[in-house]
């Protein structure tokens, strides 16, 4: 069995292990982030805040928490304003895609806002992983070589 520290391991294999480890950590930290974000969203809906406004507020509140949790716990990087700017742009795209899907689910398919947001979670997770891994923290993967 090879370990990342094993000198005989080839570079492509070590990067593959690193990415798989990051994917696991991303999903683990993402579960916490999702629970916190959905709980805030549900509380706002329960307080009669319109669902798209609740989604926006929950997203804004989660951005800083998610930046630190993903940056430190998943990607081992806190690179400052440049990465934070890309993080904000990423979450803007995630919010827009989530809001469009949520709107379609509630208005076209008549699904309630609670269930609609649960249906949106897999798309948000996939988009978040792609943006974080391939764009926001991409330099960190190059640093691992």
- Return contacts of 95-99, CB within 8 angstroms, 24+ apart: 95/55, 95/56, 95/59, 97/123, 97/124, 97/127, 98/55, 98/59, 98/123, 98/124, 99/52, 99/55, 99/56
Is 2 within the bounds of a domain?
A: no
Is 62 within the bounds of a domain?
A: yes
pLDDT at residue 128 tops 50: yes
State the average pLDDT for the chain. 84
The pLDDT, as a whole number, for residue 81 is: 86
Asked if residue 124 lies in contact with residue 94, where contact means CB atoms within 8 angstroms, the answer is yes
Is 3 within the bounds of a domain?
A: no
Instruction: Quote the domain boundaries for residue 121.
Output: 11-143
Six-digit token string for 124? 């948000």
**Overall domain count for the chain:** 1
What's the pTM? Answer: 0.77
CB-based contacts of 35: which residues, under 8 Å, 6+ apart?
A: none
Is 1 within the bounds of a domain?
A: no
Question: What is the pLDDT averaged over residues 104-113?
Answer: 98
Task: Dump pLDDT digits (tens) for 21-56.
Answer: 778 888 888 899 999 999 999 999 999 999 999 999
The pLDDT, as a whole number, for residue 104 is: 98
Is 55 within the bounds of a domain?
A: yes
Is 114 within the bounds of a domain?
A: yes
Is 4 within the bounds of a domain?
A: no
Residue 75 — very low, low, confident or very high, per pLDDT cuts 50/70/90?
A: confident
Name which of 3-17, 68-82, 102-116 the model is least confident about: 3-17
DSSP codes, 29-98? HHHHHHHHHHHHHHHHHHTT--HHHHHHHHHHHHHHHHHHIIIIIIS-----HHHHHHHHHHHHHHHHHH
The pLDDT, as a whole number, for residue 79 is: 67
More confident residue, 112 or 27: 112
Six-digit token string for 3? 């370990």
């Amino acid at each position: 069995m090879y370990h990342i520290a094993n000198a005989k391991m080839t570079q492509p294999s070590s990067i593959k292990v690193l990415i798989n480890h990051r994917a696991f950590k991303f999903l683990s930290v993402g579960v916490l982030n999702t629970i916190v974000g959905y709980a805030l969203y549900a509380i706002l809906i329960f307080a009669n805040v319109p669902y798209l406004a609740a989604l926006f507020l929950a997203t804004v509140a989660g951005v800083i928490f998610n930046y630190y949790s993903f940056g430190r716990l998943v990607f081992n990087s806190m690179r400052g304003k440049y990465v934070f700017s890309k993080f904000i742009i990423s979450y803007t795209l995630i919010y827009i895609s989530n809001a469009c899907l949520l709107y379609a689910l509630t208005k076209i398919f008549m699904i309630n806002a609670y269930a609609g947001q649960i249906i949106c979670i897999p798309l948000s997770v996939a988009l978040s992983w792609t943006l974080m891994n391939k764009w926001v923290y991409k330099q960190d993967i190059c640093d691992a070589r």
